[in-house]
Chains A and B, each alone.
Chain A
């Protein structure tokens, strides 16, 4: 019975989201901070350095950290206002249990943890170990991500653990592993300004990775040509040398078309291909038919744009590819990434200064969160859970029999499908808000309602935590210590600024306490995150993402250390693949031929418009944190439907009108923003909001067969003008899902 115990507006009244607008000490010049804590922003994968001002164990403000090399003091609005999530009126300060009709009532930690452990045991005894599933998150530190993977396999003994990086980095990861054998950006960001051609494929850098903008502009000052592909003219696209307004799902047309032209014009490094790659013949064969005209039909853009892109990319002396969710959130997400990376390998421009590529991580620990073993098919160090050698090594680190480690489990979407099918009966989640973040929200809600038991570890009562039987009050990033790995593969140190408030606890202690109650206390005797990191180092040793040589002291001293770093004497590896040494057993890069295929749901006469979803600069992911910060909500209060005037006119829609955007699965009612900066066949709705404002009400539950990433970037909708809504949800504050 995992339904909200009282009506949503009542829960909102008690738990928010409410807005924090002023520092806890008020706007005053009188207060001096006790200390400045050098740490990192938690609101995207770039992990900018920032200093938090602390007084009397409370975060009271921030100061830029100009010495941290990645961002040199630069911050986006999320970073500037990030400290407003501290001392917040909505902060959960005690464990709570659901009481039907009463809401959530505080209980003791003993009662809450006993209840969770009992429910896990009860469900597993009745339905089998795999009937209890775990969800981790890519906003967790490396230590906590490691702990979740170990907790699942050693304490809960379930195969079914996955994480919300499944909604983020998995297509990029799979593509990079297939071609190079390593899942990481190939270069440090300092290589970007040295590149003479830059291709940004499906990344709204200005809003989702703002700090990267400076690297791009610096490259242009140095004479680089910038190509941007995006169905929307985003702020970086406005000033690109070539902006390609690609049709959602048409990316392979651009990439294969470019490669076709490059082959034709001789802009291929055949020596490099012969010496350092395999599979070129199949790629050459595949792209033969992708003439600019053929490719243009797939891409939905003029053929001349594809030729021009090839003319910029092909002959350039150095180049850098950046890709992100725009090409990855597809049922062909892995294919899209591989087609883009083929452009890098075909020119041989990788593994040297100013030459390479990176995938822009979205979540706070988008890189590290995917290495430490909280994926359904993975063990620490980026190891394969089905590889006998890998299993044996990790079993030895954990001190458990190899056969006790479960095999590959279900990924995130199949976990929810298994809940629907009655195979998974219990769920515990941390750092995840599926009610906002997963596609087809109604389906996700029904799944949560079917659970016999649901526990959420959270710092605020997220839209998903409302469905929990037990809510465990965990910790914000600045209330604990640990490491993350930034977009470049640089392992960095988040310092603790303050203690968790009230009776809230640091996440790792909650997990370790539960492990103890499940009879695995001897394997979870960690006294600090540093001890977890020490075990993680050993567990990752010899793996692809080898952290063995990295220590917290080194991180602090060296402003981060890049993995792989196999020994304490090793300098770390800012740039991968130097000397064209790739990580497959044959040492070569493996080209992957890619054919275009349609999306899971293409438009038709009933639903004739493509909906694509994404982010805005002032919000982070499902909004659990940023929809509680007044200044960020003021900046972008409610989701808008961006629509081109040609389409808007046809539908009788004017700027500011309320429109209903509707797919076969659900709808939102939001205001229209009529702008010429989007393709006329496509509308855009950002996804940070819940309930009747959730873009994921419409999106399709279709996943990439390799990466299992959902197809957030394409579904078929219709759009119509409607009156302003006045129902109970619409009347809520905008940050809770209302309209203004």
Chain B
């Protein structure tokens, strides 16, 4: 094995260990008795870090052409952002169900 091949496997191993640590932290948080909002915030933060690590290093997007990276990132983020329009409606439904109010 050449030095560069060995170093790239070391890089993958380091990312693997980092992902294991992050997942371990998520499991620890899962067992804690904290509010839903805090859980979502922490899990989302960890998920973003995991995504960056996996996409850049494991899927090797970081070694592609900058134009292609921009295309993938911008397009995917735009679509994901567009999917988040119904949250206000879910909170409205929650309030209706908690208060027993039914809009006529």
The answer to whether A binds B is: no
A interface with B by C-beta (< 8 Å): none
B interface with A by C-beta (< 8 Å): none
